[in-house]
Chains A and B, each alone.
Chain A
């Protein structure tokens, strides 16, 4: 069976157009870049960096086109070919420079003229790509009809075989890219619906609606939602991926993209779209499945980090004066909590742990009578931030440490914050109406407490109090990764929230709330927090991006998640080992990680820009 080509059956026709446009684009881009350099006027539409970025991008693009057009090279590009391309580009550059000098006599502002020519070429390239995609998708089956016509009617295979052959031929007509496009069809439909609805009602949707006024924001949101939908369809309906993430098929080890399966079982997808990795698993399916892990853990971990950061940052920014006063309720509460913690350490952790904890907490307790809450908490936050993150992770996920239950103890502390947050949020709001207060507290806190209990409880570990009642256990390693990510992220969130609280604290509406006798938590959560939401939302988006990278880093170091996990970091690490021989297993997850983080950053940018308007 023929392997898939990148661009399918109609690449030749469109490819020649593409080659012409791309050459012109490179020429115009180089020209305008050089002109803008020589003529230092601010009107030159292309800065040096823009130019370099464009050229690099085109270089990669040309490499791919070259790859696709030359049938002799299946997949990998020879280094010699790259050298030739570079030489060609250099020659083009020299030519462009000469052309630029020549053009100065003809045009008022040749840099701008060339810039617009470049932009025009980019548009033409885009149009050609769309035309190619449309044509390929529409006429992919045409080749099979010819084959069918030429076949001997007597020797026609059975209907099922025929259907299978037709399917394979259609796919071959499409090529790899168009086939991948078709695999993502549910995602495209969902994205189309979402964007159409959002655009139609954008005036009524507040900040989210305003995002659709901003090109950067739209693009970022598009990228993010692409992966969210991919994760949803794959995780819930098992739709996008072509094979199982752990399926190993014989003969597919390190095979290049588009390789057909050796023997196609009933209904199985007949190709490895993006090739196979060194254990003969489908790279495309692993990338798609990996998105589920990333899209689930990253936002949730970030949310938890925000809960911790907010719950600690607000009082740090709000209260001035010593953290504890002699005989105050706070002193008693802190004393009890600290005492219980040391006692717990004595019972379960042994003498050494007990002594260590007792000394640390004792010092902290004494310190809190002198220093403000802000000073104490900021000091602790700095302590965590000063510690090398990767080292901390190594420490946390070492099996010996996991066995002592440390991650679980940390989970006990860190996961309590959302409950505290929700509880305080509700009770400060309904403080004047005890009936409502009790009702909402029960509705919200009971499910949260149950979830909390079953999450931190795990069979065969230090904390196993629930026994058979424990109905939910996160996948192995997930809790550890989750706790580490929350632990590392929360100090930064804490500092942001604290700064915002300090700022908003001086507003008159806070003073107004104080003068009508509101409690401190009401002021923090209902007067200060909602007005700090702008920067927090932006930071939330950015931080999901960081967390995604952090997850990637963790996976890359083989920390936390099991080695066969398809998450992007682990797969990049797997692929890295054979990168110089087979580049294709490492690139798709890397590209996926890049687009998601890029999308989150652009989304944050767009949100920031739009929230500043008005």
Chain B
């Protein structure tokens, strides 16, 4: 199949409208959407979930399913209108000229087929090349995506690879036919931060090498800044702002873009002095969009009688017309006006030590044969000598990637597992070896948890009120049903939900609202220690800010100790007092937020900081990409757990990193680093994030 030769823009979408038809009504998913992708250019598509960005991608692929239809506008690929193409022509273009990379790598690979076969299929189907040539090409591409031992990779099955490796294979597959356009739909959302950084780096390099144009769909502004040349911000099915990436980031011309930036924690934001500003209200449902500007009801600059009068067209925001905005008032708004903080909140006084961990260890034994007990037993060291203290109304952030042992630690703290060794002291009483059924009600109510996935945190078949009341019953609060109901309504007030929600089912709530109910439930028994396991990572940016603020506010009121588990360093920097960095069950660094975020770093912290994408053009970041994946906890490396990926390893004399677990070094002020590097070298480290001089 020969490629089409064409010099103009690869993809031109003009006034595209896509609707889904259900039995009840037509649901417009995308309206009046235009974008152009030039050869070799990367265009970012940013917006919250439900704004229609994935629908655009599916529309380009003509894969809208049974009830999705393009109701207006055109999509031109290399100058040819895709609507006029036959099914056969479309099939040739898909995978050959346009390739797509999806969010979930495991779901995009056929689990029953070897990697090599899957890769070879692409050129064999589209170009009819011989098996041998296809194999050679697969080998070449797998080498290009920087996978170790390509020949072995080709002969393995998808489940034998890690998530990062799988996503690389998916990228390799997309590149097999050297497509002109690559559509990436949240390609790194399912990956860990350091892996994400490596994959993004790879995509950028390959884009340059192959000259591929890219349509990069993401909700992460920082990621888009790092990868794309141009950006298109979407809101509720419409493009609201479009332009050069630097131009849009530095000189935004639409209230939604501005609100979006104000709701993400950038370096310099502070939970007390400069809190995040959440966007008020909720994302409108597709069939309940307001008249006029879609963002109108949530906009600070809303003007009645003007913004709600009818269709708002895209308008050029600069002379060349490359920067456009869908706002009627953009010339009148003073975009440079500084954000006026609603109120400066005073930080809660940090009190006594409430929780203290001493040399906590948690090992799991995995037997090979369950029924007859034979086979060798392997020990998974999930937590290795964890020691720290947490004080009243303090936020301690626990940072680390998947598999670092943070969830195990939470389980031990909650009493779902008992510690193998070491102590957990709650108010001086050891609870590390007390499973939850043996703990008294008070202890159970004191230590509670907020979970990560809002769609999973509430029982889908019980009303919201009933779930909170059940927690109250279990914690022995209130003497009668009426009393408990009253208290439940108060808890709903506490998390700023209307009282009417008590009788709703969880599926009637949005993600952020569910998370609020989860928080209310955790605070049902006046919890003193709350473990928040990535409470906002599954939420949209604008909702994240609101939920984070709520947590902070409750903490200030209740003097709660918050153990905030997260991999998102931006939000950690914004809200935590102290930070603990974990890697493969070890605490590698522990200190106050300022100490951890500035040199000296543990090498892993340094890489982690560098990996986090920051949506601020004035930030200069040192570029550190970690090689490889996190080792398996079943089979940890000898010596220092991080030695397999550490870039400072050569600075340690005598191969100490390979043989010995490093000691904990106190850098003063309780700032601990677990590393063999000498103090001199640690002190020489440069800060990873620098705010460039304006």
Binding site for B on A (CB under 8 A): 213, 367, 370-372, 375, 432-433, 507-509, 511-519, 526-527, 530-531, 533, 614
Contact = CB atoms under 8 A, between A and B. Distances in A.
A527 B452 CA distance: 18
B370 A531 contact: no
Nearest to B531: A515
B476 interface: yes
B501 interface: no
Contact of B448 (A509, A515, A519): A515
A213 B448 CA distance: 43
A70 to B, nearest CB: 47
B473 A512 contact: no
Q: Which of A372, A375, A432, A614 has the most CB of B within 10 A?
A: A432
B437 interface: yes
A433 B478 CA distance: 12
A533 B473 CA distance: 25
A213 B24 CA distance: 11
B456 A508 contact: yes
22 contacts: A372-B370, A432-B473, A433-B473, A508-B452, A508-B453, A508-B457, A509-B458, A509-B459, A511-B416, A512-B518, A514-B416, A515-B416, A515-B444, A516-B448, A516-B471, A516-B475, A516-B525, A517-B439, A517-B441, A517-B444, A530-B459, A530-B461
Contact of A515 (B372, B414, B458): B414
Contact of B474 (A370, A507, A516, A530): A516
B437 A519 contact: yes
B371 A371 contact: yes
Interface of B: 23, 370-373, 414-416, 436-437, 439, 441, 444-445, 447-449, 451-453, 456-462, 471, 473-476, 507, 518, 521, 524-525
A22 B158 CA distance: 56
A515 B436 contact: yes
A530 B460 CA distance: 9
Nearest to A213: B23
A370 B371 contact: yes
A515 B449 contact: yes
A513 B416 CA distance: 11
A511 B451 contact: yes
B459 A516 contact: no
A429 B423 CA distance: 34
B453 A517 contact: no
Contacts of B456: 507-509
Contacts of A530: 459, 461-462
Contacts of A533: 461
Contact of A375 (B370, B437, B461): B370
B372 A512 contact: no
A613 to B, nearest CB: 10
A60 B441 CA distance: 72
Q: Which of B439, B459, B460 has the most CB of A within 10 A?
A: B459
Contacts of B444: 515-517
Nearest to A519: B437
A527 B459 contact: yes
Contacts of B452: 508
Contacts of B453: 508
Contacts of A518: 474
Contacts of B457: 508-509, 512
Given A511-B449, A512-B451, A432 B474 contact: yes
Nearest to A320: B370
A375 B372 CA distance: 11
Contacts, number: 72
Nearest to B444: A517
Contacts of B459: 509, 513, 527, 530-531
Given A509-B457, A516-B471, A614 B451 contact: no
A370 B416 contact: no
Closest 9 pairs (CB-CB, A-B): A530-B461, A508-B451, A508-B456, A517-B444, A432-B473, A509-B459, A508-B457, A515-B414, A371-B371
Nearest to A506: B456
A264 to B, nearest CB: 55
Nearest to A533: B461
Contacts of B437: 517, 519
Given A508-B457, A509-B459, A516-B524, 17 more contacts: A213-B23, A367-B371, A371-B371, A508-B451, A508-B452, A509-B456, A511-B416, A511-B451, A512-B457, A514-B414, A514-B416, A515-B414, A515-B416, A516-B444, A517-B436, A517-B437, A517-B439
A516 B441 CA distance: 9
Given A508-B451, A512-B521, A514-B436, A531 B474 contact: no
A508 B457 CA distance: 5
Contacts of A514: 414, 416, 436
A527 B451 CA distance: 16
B134 to A, nearest CB: 29
Contacts of A367: 371
Given A432-B476, A516-B475, A370 B436 contact: no
Nearest to A511: B451
A530 B415 CA distance: 26
B370 A371 contact: yes
Given A517-B436, A517-B444, A531-B460, A512 B449 contact: yes
Nearest to A376: B371
Contacts of B436: 514-515, 517
Contacts of B373: 370
A531 B460 CA distance: 7
Nearest to B453: A508
A572 to B, nearest CB: 42
Contacts of B524: 516
A1 to B, nearest CB: 55
A146 B473 CA distance: 80
A286 B416 CA distance: 60
Nearest to A432: B473
Nearest to B533: A508
Contacts of B441: 517
A39 to B, nearest CB: 16
Contacts of A213: 23
A530 B447 CA distance: 27
B635 to A, nearest CB: 23
A231 to B, nearest CB: 32
Contacts of A512: 449, 451, 457, 518, 521
A370 B451 CA distance: 33
A266 to B, nearest CB: 56
Q: Which of B437, B460, B474 has the most CB of A within 10 A?
A: B474
Nearest to A510: B459
Contacts of A370: 371-373
Contacts of A372: 370
A144 B209 CA distance: 95
A512 B453 CA distance: 12
A433 B439 CA distance: 19
Nearest to B22: A613
B219 to A, nearest CB: 22
A516 B415 CA distance: 10
B481 to A, nearest CB: 9
A348 B365 CA distance: 46
A508 B467 CA distance: 14
A509 B444 CA distance: 16
A594 to B, nearest CB: 31
Contacts of A509: 456-460
Contacts of B447: 515
Contacts of A515: 414-416, 436, 444, 447-449
A325 to B, nearest CB: 12
B476 to A, nearest CB: 7
Contacts of B445: 516
Contacts of A432: 473-474, 476
B526 to A, nearest CB: 13
A432 B414 CA distance: 21
Contacts of A526: 462
Contacts of B415: 515
A432 B441 CA distance: 12
